[in-house]
A and B are shown apart, each in its own frame.
Chain A
């Protein structure tokens, strides 16, 4: 490669490098630094360097919040995979109409996440549509409290991230060699066995990608738990937001952010496999 090419390449990478340095590396560095400082009385940071923000995280209260976040994210991920896999399978096997069906999945994904969360507020309220219908049909006498609990948050997350799961699953299933399934059938496997012994194992890369694409954003979710959890379901994202606004403890918020990032990076690295790079 000529040096002119090297220069060109550096020129191409420079704007991105400057951007990422100033908007990612340095700010995250500042946050990491803040996590070792002390809070000001009404916000901001002050000097005594301290490890207190990290040791405070050992309090079982925060451990519970982390656990709850992991739990909710895990359930949402599993549901997305379980609901998304058959749908992806259907699309992959629908022959000529593949693109149409795929677009129908992608379409909600393109529209506002915030609005889609609001849609569930509208449906799940005590005086919302679902309760009105159920009461109108005489199936229940008092409205079911469907909003402002963990279940509503999980529902909101699944609804929001299902397209994220379907896409990689579809990508893998679509590339699946149909002759393998024919071979399995020839060897006497019924469709169920073929599914579990052939299709599923071969779609593991897609399943892993889908799991990561859903789980990691769920870990840091803020909007869904804020609007559908009724500020009672405190997840890590809400906890961080609290520290930077009403509780005025920036260093503590910074410490939580650092821990959250390390957890997310750890999961990403643990789940990566050779040849499955995104970048």
Chain B
């Protein structure tokens, strides 16, 4: 490799730089002729052929990225310059994202399939007119456990049992962990009372010696492999794990109450591809598409028409579609005020750091 020390390096650098950008453009996007759409979604939230079928039908090339938590997604899109077009925020993030001017309004005329939504999700509390988002998948947070664990966990309080030492995981998600601690003391998961929150923090710190790791959906493989005995997990993760190891694992909706979540599709304001984004959302709202996703990923769809297309063993899956009586113990997460948010974030740092 010979290096020419000619003093006019700036010119060469610019040339190489131009080459780099050009090369990157070529290397990074083969098939540049087709229109592009960048979709950023939770992991394991579409069926293997969902995206490729859309690409085939619409002629759009989709770049599909995944994330493991709302915070991860928000950190990437907060600058308003992330490059993503479609994201899937949870319900409690819709209002803050709207206030931060990160979301684009939805044009219902371009979403004819909206009528397929289940009635209970047509006017959700976090966005009654569906101006900003369309409900996608929903569920609850509860406890997954190995059948061998005895006695069976039925409440959040059971997660403080010393016998669990080292085989317990909690979610790597501040509202969830703090929520579980609050519920254990009979309080609301959305509490913004500083003393209640400090109690929650103390409880979480007290639990830490028993916690093997803080993991989100990543815990699924470890549950199936048997590395983890008890996990605080989303119903989706639980359903997927149980499907992979039906005799070994079970799920419980904690008796003290539990959070309900709903992940929604939204379009980022920074996106210049509103048409394509609407097209994609409309595609996801198709009952057959939604049903196909549910069958492979074991998620609970907000799409009422799709529900009718599901085989009974999925429609009656108590983990994904619990009875009304169980659901009555559920509580939706609500967006926090900025003071409360700051306190919660700080407490989370302290929990993680202790």
**Are B78's CB and A44's CB within 8 A?**
yes
A-contacting residues, B210-225, CB 8 Å: 211-215, 225
**Are B75's CB and A248's CB within 8 A?**
yes
Q: Is B129 an interface residue (CB 8 A)?
A: no
Which interface residue of A8, A64, A245 has the most chain B CB atoms within 10 A?
Answer: A245
Q: Mark A10-53, 1 if CB is under 8 A from B, else 0.
A: 01101100000000000000000000000101111000000000
Q: Mark B1-43, 1 if CB is under 8 A from A, else 0.
A: 0000101011001000000000000000000000000000000
Q: Is A62 an interface residue (CB 8 A)?
A: yes
Closest residue on chain B to residue A231 by CB atoms: B214
- Shortest beta-carbon distance, B101 to chain A, in Å? 12
A102-110, A164-172, A178-186, A236-244: which lies at the interface: A236-244
**Are A247's CB and B348's CB within 8 A?**
yes
Of B5, B75, B166, B350, the residue contacting A145 (CB under 8 A) is B166
Please count how many residues in chain A sit with their CB below 8 Å of the partner chain's CB atoms.
35
B-contacting residues, A122-148, CB 8 Å: 125-127, 145, 148
B66-74, B269-277, B309-317: which lies at the interface: B66-74
Please count how many residues in chain B sit with their CB below 8 Å of the partner chain's CB atoms.
36
- Shortest beta-carbon distance, B30 to chain A, in Å? 26
Q: Mark B314-347, 1 if CB is under 8 A from A, else 0.
A: 0000000000000000000000001001100110
**Are A248's CB and B71's CB within 8 A?**
yes
Residues of B within 8 A of A245 (CB): 71-72, 75
Q: Is B151 an interface residue (CB 8 A)?
A: no
Residues of B within 8 A of A125 (CB): 225, 227
Of A7, A127, A145, A234, the residue contacting B352 (CB under 8 A) is A234
Q: With A126-B226, A126-B227, A232-B213 in contact, do A42 and B96 touch (Cβ < 8 Å)? A: yes
Q: Is A74 an interface residue (CB 8 A)?
A: no
**Are A232's CB and B214's CB within 8 A?**
yes
CA distance A252 to B208 in the complex (A): 24
Residues of A within 8 A of B345 (CB): 246-249
Q: Mark B71-91, 1 if CB is under 8 A from A, else 0.
A: 110110010000000000000
Of B226, B348, B354, the residue contacting A61 (CB under 8 A) is B354
Q: Is B186 an interface residue (CB 8 A)?
A: no
**Are A247's CB and B349's CB within 8 A?**
yes
Give A residues with C-beta under 8 Å from B.
7-8, 11-12, 14-15, 39, 41-44, 61-62, 64-65, 125-127, 145, 148, 230-232, 234, 238-239, 242-249, 252
Name 9 interchain pairs, CB-CB below 8 A, sorted by A: A12-B7, A41-B96, A230-B212, A234-B353, A245-B71, A246-B69, A246-B174, A248-B71, A249-B346
7 residue pairs, one from A and one from B, having the closest CB atoms: A230-B213, A41-B338, A11-B7, A246-B71, A231-B214, A126-B227, A247-B345
13 new A-B contacts at CB < 8 Å, known A12-B7, A234-B352, A247-B174:
A7-B7, A12-B5, A15-B10, A15-B13, A39-B342, A42-B74, A42-B341, A148-B213, A230-B212, A231-B213, A232-B212, A245-B75, A246-B345
Give B residues with C-beta under 8 Å from A.
5, 7, 9-10, 13, 69, 71-72, 74-75, 78, 96, 100, 166, 172, 174, 208, 211-215, 225-227, 338, 341-342, 345-346, 348-350, 352-354
